[in-house]
Each structure stands twice: as C-alpha cells, then as structure tokens.
A and B are shown apart, each in its own frame.
Chain A
Amino acid sequence: MASIQDTKRPKGIRGTRGRGVALHAVLVAGLLLSAFPFYWAVIMSTHTSTEIFSYPPKLLPGPHFLRNVRALFDNVDFFGSMLNSLLVAGSVTVLVLFFDSLAAFVFAKFHFPGRRLLFGLLMLIFMVPTQLAIIPQFVMMARIGWIGSMTALIVPAAANAFGIFWMRQYMRSAIHDELLDASRIDGAHFLRQYWHVALPVVRPGLAFLGIFTFMGQWNDYAWPLVALTNPDNVTLQVALSQLNGVHGTTDYGMVMTGALLALVPLLIVFAIGAKQIIGDLGKGAIR
C-alpha cells in the first residue's frame, strides 16, 4: 500500500517529515473545531440544567441523558414531528428525483422547438429569491386550505430548477448517444428509454441529488415556520424552535437533547452518501 500512496503524492510538495507533522497538527485542530459543537451538544444533553448553569463548565458527558429524553418526549410530540419531517423530505425527494431527471433527460438528449428558450427560462427561475413568493404563497394556500398541512410544503417543492440543471449536466456526459440509438432501433419509446436506458446509467447522480434534496428539505425552516400554523402538527425543525423558544431559558439539557436527536437521521443519511456528495459537489462547482 505504501507504494500506491507514494505515487499519489504531488511532486512539488515532498516536504520534510517535520512539515508533514505540522500540517497534520493544523488539520486535526480544524477537524476538532468542526466536531466540537456536536460534542458540546452531547455534553449538554447528558446534564441537568443546574449542572449546565454551574461553573466551571462540564467538559465530559454526564449521566442524565435518559432524564432529558423523557422530559423532551413529555414536552413535544417529538416522534410525530419527526414523522412529519420524514413524510415531507421523503415525498419531496421521490418527486424531485422523478420530475427533475425526466426533464433533465429531455433537455440533455433531445431537440425540440423552444428548447433553448425553455432552458434559459429555467436558469432565470433558478435566481428568483424565495421570499418574494412567500406572502402570495401563504395567501393562496390559505385560500385553498393547504396552510397548516404538509401539502403546503410538499407540492411547491416537487420539482426544482437546480436539480434539472444539475442532472442535465450529468446526463449529457453519462448517457451515450449510441445507447439511445440502439434502444430506438429496438423500438423503445420515450418513456422506456428514460426508464431502462437513462436511469440505470445515472444512478450515482440520482443518489447525489436525492441525498441533497432530502437534507435540504429536512433542514428547511423559514417556510414551514409560517406555513404550519397548527403548533401541534409541525416538522422537526419547527418543533425544535418551539422547544427553544418556550423552554430555552429553563431546561437547556432537554432542548439540547432535542437538537441532538434531530441531527441523528441527517448524520445517517450523510454517512451513507458522504462519498457521493463530497465527490460530486466539487465536480459541479468547477465544471
């Protein structure tokens, strides 16, 4: 294995051993800074408020995690709001993957009248800031009775310009035209081509878009905060914010436990898709 690593080493930077150690020392320091707030959340969620308020601050985890979890479940419908978040993030992800990849396939591989115009419009839409639409959306949805329900979060997010743009870039190089030609000769119609030729090839791209969409929806806050008007039926982020607003100054251990538990599903999704995300993020930026 050592020989492989040697060949990977960039030629110009074959520094001394001392420089390498210093480099890793700085990198590890940065790593600790990145990780520290997570550790801090663990510490606070395992102590009672009295312990948290005392000086010097606790630097090691304490024994009161279960107490805090119980207090958390007594005060908010944690699992209910987590289910809501899963419902919203899950359905948006499925819808976005389908609609975005279908549109991207068309833009990447077919010619039709108005293609350039429609794609230009898409890029323009990409830049419209969301808060311009918030008030009218709120008013509209209040009229049709979606305010207060998860529908208000799911439907507007079911397709987006970023995903179409990103998938188009990906499909242009990933799907070979020869493959499409061959399937056309075999008599495959458009939807079959999409399903059986395009999708299997772009699975890594779908994974990236899916994970990104899921995390974005899971973390979405501003619109759910105004759209979910029934405080008993909210997403996890809004529930957390309520918890912080009402109990923040009294039971910090409990609030922090909620914050910590809300991160768990995200960390799981990230751990599954980390390689994909970190690799493709860079590709998108330098393309």
Chain B
Amino acid sequence: MATALEKPPVVAERTPTARPRSGMRKYWHLYAAISPFYLLFLAFGLVPVGFSLYLSFHRWDGLGSMEWAGLSQYRYLLSDSDFWSSIGTTLIIWALATFPMIFLAMVTAVMLNSAVRFKNVYRFAYFLPNVTSVVAIAIVFGSVFSTNFGLVNALLQAVGLDQVAWLNTPWGIKVAIATLMTWQWTGYNAIIFLAGLQTVPSELYEAARVDGANPVQTFFRITLPLLRPTLLFVLVVSTVTGLQSFTEAQVLLQNTSNDSTFSGGPGHAGRTMVLYFFQQTFDNNDFGYGAAVAWGIFLVVVIFSIINWRLVRRRGED
C-alpha cells in the first residue's frame, strides 16, 4: 500500500511541448472539475466569514439597520464575565472528557493489539457509540443522570451513598456532559491508536522482552514514543471538536430553563462557548455581538490547538 503512495503523477507531463502558460484553454476542464467546491466555499464560506468580521464591528438585531460600533463589541467581549466563564466551562468539560478518554482509548488499543480472538467483534462494538446521533444519546444520558429516577443515583442509593443532583449542580452537569463525550469518543480513538500500534514492528517488542523489560516499561519506552504522532492527531482533533462542543450540553440541559434552550442549565454551569454564542445570537438577536463571540471562540480554539501541538511535540524531542 505504501509503496505506490509517493509516486509522482506523470499523466499531464506526457506532453512536454505544452507549456503550462498556454493556459485556460488547455486546462479549463480541470478548473471546471474542481470549481464546485471553491464556488460553494466562496458563497457559503468566504463571504459569510468576511461578513461576520464586518458584522462584529457593528450593532445589529438582524432586522433594522446596522450601526457602526467600532471595537466596542470586542471591548465588551473582553470584559464579559459570562464569556470568560463559558471558556472556563468549556475547558473543564474538555479536560474531564479528554484525559480519561485518551487514557482509556490507549489501554483499550494496547489490549486489542495483543488479543487475537474476536478482535473484529470488539472493534465493531467499541466503534458503535461514535456512529450514534448525539441528540438521541444525550436524551438517553439525561435519563441515566436524572436526579429522581436516574440509574446512576439508583446505583449510589443501592450501595448506601447519597444521591447527587447531577443535572442541577455545577460539577454534576460538567461530569454528565464529559461522561457522554468520553463514552462516545473512546472507542473511536482506540481504533485510531490501534492502527498506530500496528505500525510498530514486532521485533522491537521481541527485543524488549529478551532484555527483560516488563509490560509497563515496554509501554513507556517503546509503545508511547512510537505512538506519539497518533497521540498528536487524537489530541488536536479532540481539542478542536471538544472546545466547540454544543449539542451534548444543549440537549441535556434544554429543559432546565424556561426562557432559553441555550442556557446551559442551572447557574449556566454547562454553558459552553458555542452555547453562549447561540444564546447571544439567536435568543438575544444580538448579531453583532454574536459575531464577535464567534471570533473569540475561534481564537481560543486556535490558541489551545497550538499549545497542545507544542506540548506533545516537545515532549517527544527530549
């Protein structure tokens, strides 16, 4: 599979007489073939993104006329404690979901890599949570974490512990959302780690065994270093998607407030950044401020992706 991968394409170079500059007439069909994506992006990507930048310097309720606001939306954003607390909420949920998820996914992948029987059955079953719709599964998790009749509380009661008002307390809400995410993404990432593990040559393990290394040493000295590119991929993808989480919290907590389905639950404890963006935009019809919030979210995601990238890379270089 890998041998043919880097082979340079030769087709178009078969006619060396034609200079690339002879231009549009010669290549028009190629440009036409790739144009749909770029046209769609122009109409539904570039223009909207440019417009949202423009919008963030204005005040607009979506109906009346736009009013120039200069930098005041951004100035307000920086001083908006609700926005800052939504960043905190998002990061806490992200951390609560991502670290257990990566740990569990790695352990699962290592185990799957050494188990031969039923490997495909396990892979199928572990991947299943990821193909389900978040809306449906958030409804299910809502009932699992329900204060009055939820399964988690029933279990706590059965072993004699106090019940927890999961969807009513700041930490309960975050734990419930993070549990949902961990459940949905652990298997998916385990499959990715497994693919990474299968590129590790078995001679390395053989050599480690001959040298008398125990499984823990083998994991930290061989498996983990070689898995670093995969870990980087998983971490960056989890950061980008995790920091933009919306559906989990929205569906789990939409019943908890009478005036907004984007409230994020009691005390806004589950109000992620994107949830806050939706609330400002579509509940308050504050399109100008909503646009500024969207750019703020974009910046936060970029910053944290870069931080993750550097952390994982530097550790590898040591």
Residue numbers of A with Cβ under 8 A of B are 5, 8-13, 15, 20, 23-24, 26-27, 30-31, 33-35, 37-38, 40-41, 44, 52-57, 99-100, 102-103, 105-113, 118, 121-122, 125, 128-129, 131-137, 139-140, 155-156, 158-161, 164, 172-173, 176-177, 180-181, 184, 190-191, 194, 215, 218-219, 221-222, 226, 237, 240-241, 244-245, 248-249, 252, 255-256, 258-260, 262-263, 266-267, 269-270, 274-275, 277-278, 281-283, 285-287
Contact = CB atoms under 8 A, between A and B. Distances in A.
Contacts of B37: 99-100, 103, 122, 159-161, 164
Interface in B9-35: 9-14, 20-21, 23, 27, 29-31, 33-34
A155 B2 CA distance: 36
Interface in B95-134: 104, 108, 111-118, 120, 122-129, 131-134
A241 B251 contact: yes
A12 B110 CA distance: 13
Given A30-B108, A155-B40, A260-B136, A177 B151 contact: no
Given A106-B33, A109-B11, A27 B154 contact: no
A124 B38 CA distance: 12
Interface of B: 1-2, 4-5, 7, 9-14, 20-21, 23, 27, 29-31, 33-34, 36-38, 40-41, 43-45, 47-49, 51-52, 55, 62, 104, 108, 111-118, 120, 122-129, 131-137, 139-144, 148-149, 151, 154, 157-158, 183, 187-188, 191-192, 194-196, 198-199, 202, 205-206, 208-209, 218, 229-230, 233-234, 244, 246-247, 250-251, 254-255, 261, 274, 277-278, 281-282, 287, 290-291, 294-295, 297-298, 301
A131 B241 CA distance: 12
B51 to A, nearest CB: 4
Given A37-B144, A103-B37, A118-B34, A274 B127 contact: yes
B146 to A, nearest CB: 8
A45 to B, nearest CB: 10
B11 A136 contact: no
B7 A135 contact: no
A132 B244 CA distance: 12
B9 A252 contact: no
Contact of B131 (A5, A13, A270, A282): A270
A33 B274 CA distance: 29
Contacts of A41: 136, 140
Nearest to B28: A112
Contacts of A286: 192, 195-196, 199, 229-230
B27 A252 contact: no
Given A103-B37, A113-B23, A245-B261, A24 B247 contact: no
B161 to A, nearest CB: 15
B149 A52 contact: yes
Contacts of A266: 131-133
A53 to B, nearest CB: 5
A260 B151 CA distance: 18
26 contacts: A12-B209, A24-B115, A27-B115, A30-B104, A37-B129, A55-B157, A110-B12, A111-B13, A113-B23, A121-B38, A125-B41, A132-B52, A132-B294, A135-B287, A136-B47, A139-B287, A156-B40, A158-B40, A172-B4, A173-B5, A190-B33, A222-B278, A256-B140, A266-B132, A270-B131, A281-B188
B149 A128 contact: no
A132 B38 contact: no
Contacts of B148: 53
Nearest to B107: A26
A132 B195 contact: no
Given A37-B183, A106-B33, A131-B294, A9 B154 contact: no
Given A112-B12, A132-B295, A139-B62, A249 B196 contact: no
Given A53-B149, A57-B151, A222-B246, A240 B122 contact: no
Nearest to A215: B131
Contact of B114 (A23, A40, A241): A23
Closest 9 CB pairs between A and B? Answer: A282-B195, A12-B205, A136-B48, A133-B48, A259-B136, A136-B51, A156-B44, A159-B37, A111-B12
Given A11-B206, A34-B126, A125 B21 contact: no
A267 B52 CA distance: 38
B127 A57 contact: no
B11 A244 contact: no
Nearest to B261: A245
B205 A27 contact: no
Contact of A172 (B5, B136, B198, B246): B5
Contact of B297 (A15, A129, A215): A129
Contacts of B116: 5, 8-9
Contacts of B195: 281-283, 285-286
A156 to B, nearest CB: 4
